[in-house]
Amino acid sequence: MVGGAPLSREIAEEYGADGYADSAITVIEETKKAVKKSKTRSL
């Protein structure tokens, strides 16, 4: 997971990041999405 002002969602996807949060405020929701996504992949 990556994020912050220097990056964008598009760059995160280009790097192959599992998640992106644009700020500390949104990181919790983005983390929940990434965990849910990884659980789905492992089934």
Structure confidence by residue, pLDDT tens digits, 19-39: 888 888 889 998 998 888 888
Higher-pLDDT residue of 14, 5: 14
pTM for the model stands at: 0.61
| Confidence class for position 43, pLDDT limits 50, 70, 90 | low
Question: What pLDDT does 38 receive?
Answer: 84
* Structural domain boundaries, residue 19: 2-41
22 burial (CB, 10 Å; 0-12 / 13-18 / 19+) is middle
| Confidence class for position 41, pLDDT limits 50, 70, 90 | confident
Check: CB of residue 16 under 8 Å from CB of residue 6: no
How many domains does one find in the chain?
1
